Amino acid sequence: MKSIYFMLVIALMASCNSNNSSSSKLADIVSSHMDTTVAPGDDFFNYANGQWIKDNPIPASESGWGIFNLVEDENLNRIKRISEEATSTEAKTGSATQQIGDFFSAGMDSANIEKNDFHPLDPILNQIKSIQSLPELFTCMNNLQKHGVDAMYSMGVYQDMKNSDKNFLYISQGGLGLPDRDYYFNTDSRTTSIRNEYPTHIAIMLNMLLNDETKAKVAALQVFNLEKQMAESHKKLEDLRDPYANYNKMAVADLNKLISGMDWSKEFQALGIKTDSVIVGQPEYLKKLNSLFTTANIEAWKNYLTYQTLTEYAPFLSTRFEIANFEFYGKLLSGSKEQRPRWKRVLNAQENALGDALGQLYVKEYFPEKTKKRYEDLVEQIVISYREHIQKLPWMSDSTKQKAISKLNSIKRKIGYPNKWRDYSSMKITQDSYCRNVIEGNLWQFNYGINKLGKPVDRNEWSMTPQTYNAYYNPSNNEIVLPAAIFTAPGYKDEDLDDAVVYGYVGASTIGHELTHGFDDEGRQFDQNGNLKNWWSKEDEANFKKRAQMLVDQFNAYVVLDSLHANGEASLGENIADLGGVIIGLDAFKKTKQFQENKKLAGLTPLQRYFMGYAYGWMQTRTDAKTASLLLSDVHAPIFLRVLGPMSNCDEWYTAFNVTEKNKMYRKPEDRVRIW
């Protein structure tokens, strides 16, 4: 996860001059953040980042603060400038400039938003009010899917996991107002407090429509009880990591058997969906819904759909809805004390609706073609390192190694931005209504997805925009996608950064990390063509699982907050990728001139700076509320463990910082996890 200035940085290969004169004008990017009162072998996360964290408390508007926020702020200011320029430019209707300008103007027009109140939702809310029967309930439920409201279940079009050349309709569990099913059942005090407060929040939201507190409280309990019963059949976070168990292809006719009384063919036709079969993630969940449809009264379901709709669109309605939504989801669940400035909230919504339109303007100014070439070169160095590392693995047979290398060689590399942009010209964006613009964006996205059905898979498509500070591996495409923004070191230019930092910050935590996802507990189950297919020998698979279980056990043992532990099963894929990224990036860094000359810079050896560069990529702190929420809903381990975990398994880290058995992070050599 990095971004802009790093575009030039990532190119700092072996020929990079680590002592560029511009470095002297800035504080050293890693040593200036160190807390030297902490022993590196006791808590490497705080040793590397502790001073910065002490000097930069979490702002009231945020649930966390660190490298992610610094890059996001840098990019938001760039996007703001683009958007403001668009508002003052006359442009053709349907053009990117017109859409960006009008979306931003409507979002910033607080007076008009107050005037509109919740009325942009009237067509949806009126349909919900008119429901008198189960067939009408089903039709409304499915219509909400078009509007971005995943009421009762989730729907989307993705590649068939077992035939990656085809697009398929997926239906999976969904429909909960709390972040994860465990919120409805866990008994720890923190989760219990949130669960107890949730019906009150639902009542507040519904009362703004009903204007009757008694009715709102009754309705809120109905909604909560429905969600709790739905949650009973939701799979746990860790169980969703098994691609075979969550792949159930069936004919639409068989789908009718899961929910009796619903004619799926008719419902699909109304949505413009043309398909004779679907892939259901969790059939048992749909069976649970079926039983709820036959026992719950229609009014309860109407209240549920109303609340789900209000929750989805509250951030784009008048202040009373926006604040009520923030009080629960922002303050209670995430620990933020106040809302972010309106312009930031609007830009985030604009990104969701018009991301590619913004991306086209963004890369023209901030990501030149020559920079893209430099990142392509760095990726190649990391791939070479991975290939060599696979060849040396002591636990894998030669035949499986060859298949692993073949898959690695086949990984497509998408760097910076796509070659083809999405065409939003049919999206009706005006200055009349902020909420209506968001609705238009959701409708466009839904139609964009279902229009893929029956067409060849576009393997050149991107699922992230260039200005996104993130990256991903797509197993069905067997590709890594590295948006331009992932390479940013906020406040620094490429010439300010030495190879050691670059290889740790980008090579390990981003490039190596995403490559390793192709070989983590989920990714390894897909072949080089992106199909869910076992290419492992039984012995090699057993060896992998044995080593992976060591990582599960290691993370399960970490106490994160109060009595809450990390979830080693749910976060296994990310933990494998973190560990693999560190090891692979280090192998690549060892070939550089800086490593081989072994000269200190800012008091640190090249090896130390490599590990410090990796830790810099996780220079982030979060509120306790946000940490607790993510423990139940996120497949990533808590931020500090993404440093402590892989470091404690890397032999060279022990050498670099003279870590011994006297230090808290020490793990015996035989206990250190070694996978890729």
DSSP type of residue 456: B
Q: Where in the chain is the domain with CATH 1.10.1380.10?
A: 150-316
- CATH number of the domain at 150-316, please? 1.10.1380.10
CA distances from 339 to 7, 117, 325, 336, 576 (A): 32, 19, 11, 7, 35
Contact 644, 596 (CB under 8 A): no
Select from 445, 580, 439 the least CA-distant residue to 515. Answer: 580
Cα–Cα distance, 308 to 202 (Å, whole number): 10
Cα–Cα distance, 40 to 603 (Å, whole number): 15
Element (H, E) at 278: strand 277-280
Q: What is the mean pLDDT of residues 351-373?
A: 89
Cα–Cα distance, 583 to 594 (Å, whole number): 18
Cα–Cα distance, 536 to 538 (Å, whole number): 6
Question: What does the mean pLDDT of the chain come to?
Answer: 94
Contact 203, 213 (CB under 8 A): yes
Cα–Cα distance, 331 to 253 (Å, whole number): 45
> Is the predicted pLDDT of residue 108 greater than 70, yes or no?
yes
Contacts (Cβ under 8 Å, ≥6 apart) of 638: 558, 560, 566, 622, 627, 630, 631
Q: Where in the chain is the domain with CATH 3.40.390.10?
A: 6-14+41-79+345-671
- The Cα angle at residue 135 between residues 129 and 138, in degrees rounded to 5: 75
pLDDT for position 296 = 81
Q: Which residues of 488-506 are buried (b: 16+ CB within 10 A; e: fewer)?
A: bbbebebbbbbbbbbbbbb
> Is the predicted pLDDT of residue 440 greater than 70, yes or no?
yes
Contacts (Cβ under 8 Å, ≥6 apart) of 73: 490
Share of the chain above pLDDT 70, in %: 96
Share of the chain above pLDDT 90, in %: 91
> Is the predicted pLDDT of residue 435 greater than 80, yes or no?
yes
CATH topology of domain 6-14+41-79+345-671: Collagenase (Catalytic Domain) (3.40.390)
Cα–Cα distance, 598 to 606 (Å, whole number): 6
Cα–Cα distance, 287 to 293 (Å, whole number): 10
Residue type, 333: L
Assign 369 a pLDDT band (cuts: 50, 70, 90): confident
Select from 139, 119, 105 the least CA-distant residue to 432. Answer: 105
pLDDT digits (tens, 9 = 90+) for 199-224: 999 999 999 999 999 999 999 999 99
pLDDT for position 254 = 94
3-state secondary structure of 380: helix
Q: What is the mean pLDDT of residues 325-331?
A: 98
Contacts (Cβ under 8 Å, ≥6 apart) of 410: 478, 528, 529
Question: What are φ and ψ of residue 377, in 5° steps?
Answer: -65, -40
Assign 515 a pLDDT band (cuts: 50, 70, 90): very high
pTM (2 d.p.):
0.93
Q: In what order do the strands lie in the sheet with 248-251?
A: 153-160, 163-173, 277-280, 248-251
Q: What is the mean pLDDT of residues 538-565?
A: 97
Contact 155, 169 (CB under 8 A): yes
Select from 436, 343, 340, 440 the least CA-distant residue to 112. Answer: 436
Q: Are strands 564-565 and 559-561 parallel, antiparallel or unpaired?
A: antiparallel
> Is the predicted pLDDT of residue 136 greater than 60, yes or no?
yes
> Is the predicted pLDDT of residue 461 greater than 60, yes or no?
yes
Contact 658, 558 (CB under 8 A): no
pLDDT for position 15 = 29
